[in-house]
Amino acid sequence: MTPQQRIIVLDFGSQYSELIARRIRECHVFSEVLPHDTTLQKLKDHHVQGIIFSGGPSSVFEDNAPVCDPDILTSGIPIFGICYGMHLITKQLGGMVQRGKKHEYGKANLLIDNNADLFEGLLLEMSIWMSHGDSITQLPDGFQKLAHTENCSTAAIGDKSSKIYGVQFHPEVAHTPKGMDILRNFVLSICGCEPSWTAASFIEEAIKKIQEEVQDKKVICALSGGVDSTTVSALLKKAIGDQLTCIFIDQGFMRKGESKRIRNLFTDKFKIDLLDINASERFYKKISGVVDPEKKRKLIGEEFIRTFEEKAVELKSDYPFLAQGTLYSDVIESATVGVSSTAVKIKTHHNVGGLPEKMAFTIIEPLKRLFKDEVRKVGLELGVPEEIVFRQPFPGPGLAIRILGEVTKDRVKILQEADVIVMDEIKAAGLYRKIWQAFAVLLPIKTVGVQGDKRTYLNTIAVRAVSSEDAMTATWVHLPYDLLERISSRIINEVQGVNRVVYDISSKPPATIEWE
């Protein structure tokens, strides 16, 4: 098989590094993020066709400003620097950068001086999203100025012979309307990549890797019934057939009726060999009294692994591999190995950073470089039914991380009842497929209320609904007031122990989608 073409994004600390990789994938070319200090040899091992230097919060004048392997700049591999990336290219190749007297952030008007190569096919004037403090005062030898703005005399540069380019703005964000055209010019024209990375091509490569790693050994797949784990199981079934055994663990924190639905779906409808384990008691005991969200996630993650290990011993066969539906967003947020060295851990995902150090399994994560929307495309290609493919995301630790504070059976029951109402009303309003995620959260506070002419002091439910493409960023959904009113009224009237409902209007960032 021909090695897969890919564009590598070297991360210099930008909040947009992963977004850049997403935009490249939208050009049907595979892209991933690596640390800024990745060596040229390692890049070549990745069959890199082009390199993008991300922006970042640093200035090239800082003592510990991040730099790249200098050999990269003379390698002949096409390079595209964004913001800090452009300043780094300029300085390392002998140009001059000075501290800016005028800073420019936000919307700006770009005037193109040379619309060849990087700006091919674009009008000479376009709206962009600018971000800079430092400015280029002298170009490296061989470079030309390609564009400018009112406050930035050099907003884009390029050297056609070395195929190195840079811009002072963010082409990857939606606020630069023609940014995708610029990225497409770099990836397809300058780097010469073929737009061949599709769901089908991913499946073909993933199957080959799985077969090479697993060979004739057996694999246990952790199945939750969501799109991620179901897609993984379908992929593994296609790759290794009867060597796969799927196990569903009911940890006691599922949605109301979810466990039964999953069992019926996979055994009756899809005819998948499913081992069903009711482990709710041991999970409740494991996190009894725990209120810290990171500790919850880690304890639940460890208990999943221990439960799987015990079941593998019972099966009296050798199951050295455990497959999981880990996604790229999980890896990034958990800041695990393989993510940029500049990454900061946001929260531990039980199937990534929450795994214990000592395990009896080798972990297989075929989807860990895919975003959620890409997983859905792969699922559809594999024949996974739409009812699963477009199921809203549900966290591995379940309702345990939607209950702030201690998790008890009574509190889980309250949240299960509230969650059903939220789901029912969102679906009845025709919004289930239009928004990314909607759910209820049980808060660790009680408030005073009046019900039946009597004073009450009961629980508070928060409702959360967000729109997103990949879970890396999200905005709160402006649900219709009448819908919010129905949800609130039903929860207060139908869920025993609740007298107040609030709506979460925070976006990600600064908040995360889940509350814990």
Pick from 226, 200, 208, 232: which is nearest to 377 by CA?
200
The rounded distance, in Å, linking the Cα atoms of 351 and 330 is 8
Cβ(13)–Cβ(66) under 8 Å? yes
Told to judge if 170 belongs to the known catalytic residues of this protein, a careful annotator would answer yes
- Based on the number of CB atoms within 10 Å of its own CB, is 412 exposed (0-12), middle (13-18) or buried (19 or more)? buried
Report cis status (omega within 30 of 0) of the bond before 509.
Answer: yes
Amino acid present at 325: G
Told to judge if 485 belongs to the known catalytic residues of this protein, a careful annotator would answer no
Numbers of helices and strands, H then E, in the chain: 14, 20
The rounded distance, in Å, linking the Cα atoms of 359 and 356 is 7
Q: How many CA atoms lie within 13 A of 259 on its CB side?
A: 17
Name the DSSP letter for residue 247. Answer: E
**Residue 256: partners with Cβ closer than 8 Å, 6 or more residues away:** 416, 417, 419, 420
Question: Do the bridges between strand 454-467 and strand 475-476 make them parallel or antiparallel, or are there none, so unpaired?
Answer: antiparallel
Catalytic residue, candidates 18, 27, 68, 83: 83
Diameter over CA atoms, the chain: 82
The rounded distance, in Å, linking the Cα atoms of 82 and 358 is 41
The rounded distance, in Å, linking the Cα atoms of 56 and 11 is 8
**Residue 51: partners with Cβ closer than 8 Å, 6 or more residues away:** 7, 8, 9, 10, 43, 72, 77, 78, 79, 80
Amino acid present at 503: Y
Told to judge if 221 belongs to the known catalytic residues of this protein, a careful annotator would answer no
Catalytic residue, candidates 18, 32, 104, 172: 172
The rounded distance, in Å, linking the Cα atoms of 32 and 9 is 6
Pick from 2, 4, 1: which is nearest to 46 by CA?
4
The rounded distance, in Å, linking the Cα atoms of 440 and 294 is 20
Catalytic residue, candidates 132, 170, 349, 350: 170
The rounded distance, in Å, linking the Cα atoms of 472 and 372 is 10
Catalytic residues: 83, 170, 172
